[in-house]
Amino acid sequence: MKAITWEKKDLLGLEDLSKEEIELILSTAESFKEVSTRDIKKVPALRGKTVLNLFYEPSTRTRVSFEVAAKRLSADVINIAVESSSVKKGETLVDTGRNIQALKADIVVVRHGSSGAPAMLAQHLDISVVNAGDGWHEHPTQALLDIFTLKEKIGHIEGLKVAIVGDIAHSRVARSNIWGLTKLGAKVTVCAPALIIPPAMEELGVVVTNNIDEAIEEADAVNVLRMQFERDSETAFPNHLAYFKEFGITEERLKKAKKDIIVMHPGPINRGIEISSEVADGPSSVILEQVTNGIAVRMAVLFLVAQGQEIKK
Amino acid sequence: MANFNEKSKILNPEDIRRCLYRLTHEILEKTSDPKELVLIGIQTRGVHLACRIKEIIKELEKAEVPLGTLDITFYRDDLTAVGPAPLVKETAINFDITDKVVILIDDVLFSGRTIRAALDQIMDFGRPRRVELLVLVDRGHRELPIRADFVGKNIPTSDKEQVEVRLKEIDGKDEVVILEKSS
Amino acid sequence: MSILVKNGHIVDPANSIDEVKDILIEGAQISKVASNLAASAETVIDAKGKIVIPGLVDMHVHLREPGRENKETVASGTRAALKGGVTSVLAMPNTEPAIDCEELVESLKNIIKDTAHNNVYICAAITKGRLGQELVEIGKVKKNGVIAISDDGASVDNDVLFLKALKQVKREDLLVICHCEDKALSGQGVVNLGLTSTRLGLRGISKKSEYKRIERDIKLAESVGAKIHIAHVSCAESVELIAKAKRKGVRVSAETAPHYFALSEEAVWGFDTNKKMNPPLRSKDDVLAIKEGLKSGAIDAIASDHAPHTQNEKDIEFDRAEFGVTGLETTLSVTITELVDNGVLSWPQAITKLALKPAQILGINKGQLSKGSDADIVVVDPQKEWIATKESLVSKSKNSAFLNRRLKGVVEYVICAGAIAYKA
C-alpha cells in the first residue's frame, strides 16, 4: 500500500493538498459515514476537544454541518457569529484568533469574506484552522463533499467529466472543486457568461466555455453554482430570467446530456434561476445526499486536523 | 523508531490451527445455542482470526454465525499513538447485537486499551447479553482491569519485547514470533 | 577632519572609474581620487576586497513624517537608509497632511534639519491634499527648495488639470513624478489581474491601469515639453511605452523598484501581505521585461518605494492590508543579488541606476565620486551574505518583501558629508 500521511494541523484549501491527502480524507469520511447510520451516531474520537465555529458571514448550512460533525465526534462546539462577537468593535482577526486560542479551543472553523483570512489565522495560531469558505478563494469541505458524493455515485473520480456552471469568478466552491477534481484526475469544464469568467482560468487546468449545452453534453456530472445577483453588480446578466434562459439547468437541457448525469448544487438553491425545480427534485439530483455526506466529510476533516495538531506538538 | 530483531518463534502454522480449533471448542462448550453467538473481529488481524473461527464453527456445528468487523480508531484514548496517517478500516456490524453473546476477537492482548475502545464501540451498536474476549496471544502488561475469556497462548514478555502475529491472509504465512528491541 | 579610504575597488560611473584606487576626503568634500595615494588622514579605512561606491540616491521614499510617525520618521527612515548605503532620499509628499504648501514644506525642512541622518530632499504634492482637484502653488514650493512634485499614491485623473501642472512645471523647470494608475481600471484590486487574482479569488489590478496612464502622461508631457519621471514601473507594456517615448525624444525618465525585478506574482500565492504593493507583483515575463528595461536604459533608476507600515496594518486580511513594502535597507543587496550577480547589470551599470541617474534626474550634485563633490561614500562587502529579519531591520516598520531571504552585499561604512555616518 502506498504511504499515506496526514501531518497538517490546518485545512486551508484543496490547492495545498496532494492527491493522496485528498483520498485519505475521502476514505476517512467513508468510515464516518457509517457512524451516522447507527442508532448512536456518535464516536468519542474528539472527546474533550473544543471546536469553535467563527463565522464572519451568515451561513446556516455549513455552520450546522460542522456543528453536527463536531458533535458526532463528541467534541464541544461553540458558535460565534459576527454580530455577537467583538469583531465589529474593531478587533483584528488575529486578535480574535489569539483570544480563541487562549480559551483553549482546539479547532477553529472559520468562514470569512476575505480571501486568505483562514491562511493568515493559521499562520498566527498553534491550534487547527479549518477553512469553511474564504471570500472567492476556497471552500474545501464543500468540494470534498461534492467529490465524495460523486465517488460514491460513480465509484471513481479519475477520468470523470465534470461541468461547473455559474458565477465562477466569485465562487470559492468552483475553485476548490477545480483543485480537488483535477488532482484526482477528473476533466473539468467551467461554464459561465463570458463576462464573469475570470482571466487565465485555463491555466488552472480546466476547459472554459460560454455554451451550457456544450458544457454538459459529455459530462458525467454537473455542479450548479448559486447565482447571486444581489451581491454582484458585475454579472453580465441583467436579471434572473435571462440567466435561467441561457444557463439554467432544466429537464429540457438535460435531455441532451448523458442519461445518468448527476446534478449537484452546493445550496442553498435558487429554484428557477440556476436550476429548475424539476431538476432539483428529480432523479438526477443528489443535492440532499450532498448534505448528508457533508457531515461525514467534515467529521473526517476535524478528526484529521486534530491528529495533525497532536503530531505537530 | 527502534529496530526489532526476531528473537524466537512461538507458534507455527500447525500450532495456530490447533489453537483455533481448541478455542472454538471452548466457545461452543460454554454456549448452549450457537445461534446466540456473534463474532466481532478487531481490525486487522482480529478480523482474519474471526473469519477462521466462523469457518470452524460452520464445520463443527453446520451453523452460520454472523461476523462483524471493528476499527477502533475513533474510540482510542490517544490521537497520536496511531501515528501520522491512520488509515481507518471498515467497521461493519450489519446485524443486531442486542441480547447476543459477542465474541470479541483480537490477535494480541497487551495493555487492554484496544479492548476498552472496542467495548465502548460495541455498546454504541446495541446491548449484548454478554461480551467475551478471545485472543490468540496474551502477553501480559495490562494497564486496565481487562482479561481474556479464551486465550490461545500465554506468553510472558518483557517490555523490551514485542509479540507479532503473522497471518497468511496479510503476511503470507502463519506464525507468532517474539521480537526484541535491538540496542 | 579627513578620511582616507584605501585599496577599495571604486565603482564611479560618473568618472568611468572601475578599479582599485584610494579616496581622500577633506572636510565635507572629496579632495583626491588616485592610485596609491600617499596621504595621511585622521581616519584610514582599509577597503581592500571591498567595493567603494557613491552613496545611493533613492528617489522614492516614504518617510511618513509628518502625521504617521508610528510607521516611520525622518530620523528612523534616514537611519535605515544609511544601513542600506543610501545617503540621499527624496521624501514623498503623501504624509498627513500632504506636503502641499510652503508652510508644510518649511516645517518639514525644520524636521529634516533637526533629525535627518542623511540628505533628505522634498517632493511636494501636485494637487492640494493630493485630491486631484486644485493645483499646489508650484512656483512657491519650488522657491522653498522642493525639487520635484508628485501625487504619489494617486495620479491626477483630470487631463486638463494635469496639463496645467505640466505647463507650470515646464516654466519652473521642476520634475513631475508620475504615479501611473487609472483607478477606474484598477478599482478595488489588490493583486495582479490574471492567474493570481483568479487563483486567489482576489480582485485584480490590470497592467492596463498602469500603462494606459503612462501613455497619457507621456502624451501630455510631450505636448508641453515638460520633464516627467515615471515611478515604480512594473510591467512589460510600460517599459515598451517608455522606451518608445525616449526614442522619440520625450523628456521622460523612469524608475523601478527591487521587488519588480526580484519577485513575480507567485510570491503572493500564500497571501503574504508583505508581498502586497501597488502596482502589484506581475508575471515572470514582466520581471524579465523589467530586467531588460534596466539593461537597455529604458528604465533609468532603481528606487526602493520604501513604504513602511505598522505590523497592525499588515497583519490583517489581505484585501484590507495596506499596500507597500519597505526597501531602504535591502535595495542595494537585492540589486547585487538579482542583477549584478546574475549578470544582468555590471557594477557600474548598477551604480548608475542606484546613484548617478537618480541624482541627474533630480538635478542634485550627488551620485558621483568626483573631486570636489560631496563626500557621500559607501564601502560595501560584495561577497558577504545576510538575511533580512524583523530583528535585523532598523526601520520602524518591518514590512519588507525580502524577509528571511538570503541576500548578498553588506554595507560596511557610510560616509555622509565627509563624516562616518554608519559603520557595520
Same-domain status, A130 and A191: no
Q: pLDDT tens for residues C157-181?
A: 999 999 999 999 999 999 999 999 9
Are A24 and B91 within 8 A, CB to CB? no
**A208 shares contact with chain C (CB less than 8 Å):** no
Share of chain B above pLDDT 90, in %: 72
Same-domain status, A40 and A114: yes
Q: Inform me whether the pLDDT recorded for A81 exceeds 60.
A: yes
Q: What's the pLDDT at A2? A: 47
Are C197 and A198 within 8 A, CB to CB? yes
Angle at C306 between CA C302 and CA C309, to 5 degrees: 160
Same-domain status, A230 and A285: yes
Q: pLDDT tens for residues A167-183?
A: 999 999 999 999 999 99
Same-domain status, A69 and A194: no
Q: What's the pLDDT at A187? A: 98
For residues C28-52, average pLDDT: 93
Are A44 and B125 within 8 A, CB to CB? no
Within C124-262, residue ranges assigned H as helices are 138-143, 159-172, 183-186, 195-200, 208-224, 236-248, 258-262
Distances (CA, A) of A8 to A18, A69, A309: 12, 19, 7
Q: How many domains does chain A have?
A: 2
Q: What is the pTM of this model?
A: 0.89
Distances (CA, A) of B14 to B28, B106, C5, C408: 21, 19, 91, 71
DSSP at C55: P
CA distance A16 to A13: 6
Q: What's the pLDDT at A241? A: 82
Q: What's the pLDDT at A239? A: 76
* Residue count (chain B): 183
Distances (CA, A) of C174 to B111, C139, C178, C213, C249: 85, 9, 13, 21, 18
**Closest residue on chain B to A299 (Cα):** B74
Residue with cell 482479561: B147
Helix axes C208-224, C236-248, angle to 10 degrees: 10
Same-domain status, A297 and A273: no
Signed CA dihedral, C28, C34, C38, C44: sign only: positive
Q: How far is A35 from chain B (nearest CA, A)?
A: 9
Across chain B, where does the E strand assignment appear?
4-11, 37-42, 67-70, 101-109, 130-138, 150-154, 161-166, 175-181
Q: What's the pLDDT at B2? A: 61
Residue C110 maps to a domain: yes
Same-domain status, A269 and A301: no
Assigned CATH for B31-80+87-161: 3.40.50.2020
Q: pLDDT tens for residues C404-420?
A: 999 999 999 999 999 99
Q: What's the pLDDT at C335? A: 98
Residue of A308 and B182 predicted with greater confidence: A308
Q: Inform me whether the pLDDT recorded for A84 exceeds 50.
A: no
Distances (CA, A) of A296 to A29, A37, A95, A247: 5, 11, 31, 32
Q: What's the pLDDT at A237? A: 67
Q: Inform me whether the pLDDT recorded for A196 exceeds 60.
A: yes
Across C14-134, where does the E strand assignment appear?
17-26, 29-34, 43-46, 51-54, 56-61, 86-91, 119-124
Q: Inform me whether the pLDDT recorded for B83 exceeds 70.
A: no
- Look at residues C290, A135, C179 and name the one whose alpha carbon lies nearest to residue C281: C290
Residue C84 maps to a domain: yes
* ipTM passes above 0.90: yes
Domain extent for A124: 19-139+293-312
Same-domain status, A117 and A214: no
- Look at residues B163, B139, B138 and name the one whose alpha carbon lies nearest to residue B151: B138
Q: What's the pLDDT at B75? A: 87
Residue A94 maps to a domain: yes
For residues B139-161, average pLDDT: 93
**A10 shares contact with chain C (CB less than 8 Å):** no
Burial-class residue C284 by CB neighbours within 10 Å (0-12, 13-18, 19+).
exposed
For residues B103-132, average pLDDT: 94
Within C281-422, residue ranges assigned H as helices are 284-296, 311-314, 331-335, 347-351, 357-362
Residue A4 maps to a domain: no
CA distance A67 to A79: 8
Residue C416 maps to a domain: no
Q: Which of A6, A40, A311 sits opposite B80 (nearest CB)?
A: A311
For residues C197-211, average pLDDT: 97
Residue B156: CB atoms within 10 Å: 9
Three-state SS at A73: coil
Q: What's the pLDDT at A1? A: 41
Q: Inform me whether the pLDDT recorded for C50 exceeds 70.
A: yes
* Residue count (chain A): 313
Domain ranges of chain B: 31-80+87-161
Q: Which of A5, A7, A307 sits opposite B79 (nearest CB)?
A: A307
Are A44 and B74 within 8 A, CB to CB? yes
What mean pLDDT, rounded, does chain C reach? Answer: 97
Q: What's the pLDDT at C251? A: 96
| A170: CATH | 3.40.50.1370
Q: pLDDT tens for residues B101-116?
A: 999 999 999 999 999 9
A chain contacts of residue C199, beta-carbon cutoff 8 Å:
15, 175, 204
Q: pLDDT tens for residues A43-72?
A: 999 999 999 999 999 888 999 999 999 999
**A134 shares contact with chain C (CB less than 8 Å):** yes
Q: pLDDT tens for residues C349-384?
A: 999 999 999 999 999 999 999 999 999 999 999 999
Q: Which of A27, A303, A308 sits opposite B87 (nearest CB)?
A: A27
What mean pLDDT, rounded, does chain B reach? Answer: 90
Q: Inform me whether the pLDDT recorded for B27 exceeds 50.
A: yes
Chains that touch B (3 or more CB pairs under 8 A): A
Q: What's the pLDDT at A289? A: 96
pLDDT category at B181 given cuts 50, 70, 90 is: confident
Could you tell me the strand order of the sheet in which B4-11 lies? B4-11, B175-181, B161-166
Interacting residues of B183 by C-beta distance below 8 A, sequence separation 6+: none
Cβ atoms of C123 and C93 closer than 8 Å: yes
Same-domain status, A82 and A149: no
Cβ atoms of C290 and C264 closer than 8 Å: no
Q: Inform me whether the pLDDT recorded for A271 exceeds 70.
A: yes
Same-domain status, A157 and A209: yes
Q: Which amino acid is at C320?
A: R
Q: Which helix (H) or strand (E) holds C409?
A: strand C406-416
| C120: CATH | 3.20.20.140
Within B79-164, residue ranges assigned H as helices are 113-125
A chain contacts of residue B73, beta-carbon cutoff 8 Å:
31, 45
Minimum mean pLDDT among A268-272, B53-57, B130-134, C385-389: which range? A268-272
Same-domain status, A191 and A112: no
- The 10 Å CB-count burial string (b at 16+, else e) for B50-61 is bbbbbebbeeee
Share of chain A above pLDDT 90, in %: 76
A chain contacts of residue B84, beta-carbon cutoff 8 Å:
5-7, 307-308, 311
Q: Inform me whether the pLDDT recorded for C323 exceeds 50.
A: yes
Are B84 and A6 within 8 A, CB to CB? yes
Q: How far is A144 from chain C (nearest CA, A)?
A: 18
Q: pLDDT tens for residues C76-87?
A: 999 999 999 999
Domain extent for C322: 53-362
Q: How many domains does chain C have?
A: 1
C chain contacts of residue A201, beta-carbon cutoff 8 Å:
198
Whether C305 is catalytic is yes
**A92 shares contact with chain C (CB less than 8 Å):** yes
Q: Inform me whether the pLDDT recorded for B84 exceeds 60.
A: no
* Residue count (chain C): 424
B chain contacts of residue A311, beta-carbon cutoff 8 Å:
80, 84
Q: Which of C12, C305, C374, C376 is catalytic?
A: C305
- Look at residues C13, C27, C35 and name the one whose alpha carbon lies nearest to residue C360: C13
Are A35 and B74 within 8 A, CB to CB? yes
For residues A209-236, average pLDDT: 83
